[in-house]
Amino acid sequence: MGTKGNEIIDLDIDELIKKLNSALADEWLAYYQYWVGAKVVEGAMSGEAITELTEHADEELNHANLLADRIVQLGGTPVLNPAKWQEMNTCDYKEPNDPAVLAILDQNIEAEQCAIVTYQDLLNFTKDKDVVTYFIILEILKDEVEHEDDLQQLKIDIEKIRNQN
Ligand SMILES: [Fe+2]
Ligand SMILES: [Fe+2]
């Protein structure tokens, strides 16, 4: 933990670490939801969905990495036990019981919308108080906004193709 680096932070660092750990739990669950979704998805245009889901999974893992690095830098410990993910998370894990492409896309759109709200809250929490965390969160939020848009766009494309047949 850098002493001066932490001194310039004008908020409760323990509370910040708690929020970042909750977001970290969300990211692992988001990673797995995409990853396993890409394994089980079925139906027309599932190839396009697999490409998108796999790409998003990689990006969620990168978010987990960014959050864990910042938690350590702040003097905290990233959540050590996966059993805690479903206790600490903010966004629910959505089990992909229905392998239909549109069902999987809908679940992931819902998850992204929760992520967008969570990161907007974290931006509000850190704004003008912890500029370093703020910019990390901003970078993640930009990805989540893009993820939601990608999935909604793919859904529109799939629905268009289905209506033509
Ligand atoms: Fe993410
Ligand atoms: Fe995302």
Separation of 143 CA from ligand 1 center, angstroms? 7
Instruction: Encode pLDDT of 31-58 as tens digits.
Output: 999 999 999 999 989 999 999 999 999 9
pTM equals: 0.96
The 10 Å Cβ neighbour count of residue 1 is 10
3-164, which class in CATH? mainly alpha
Give the C-alpha separation, 151 to 101, whole Å: 11
Domain regions of the chain by residue span: 3-164
Separation of 136 CA from ligand 1 center, angstroms? 12
Q: Which one of the ligands is nearest to 23 CA?
A: 1
The pair of structure tokens assigned to 7 is 């001194």
Separation of 60 CA from ligand 1 center, angstroms? 4
Separation of 61 CA from ligand 2 center, angstroms? 10
Residues of the chain with pLDDT under 70: 1
pLDDT, residue 1, reads 66
Contact 10, 32 (CB under 8 A): no
pLDDT, residue 9, reads 95
Residue pointed to by tokens 């967008």: 116
Instruction: Look at residue 41 and give its three-state secondary structure.
Output: coil
pLDDT, residue 118, reads 98
The pair of structure tokens assigned to 140 is 């993640």
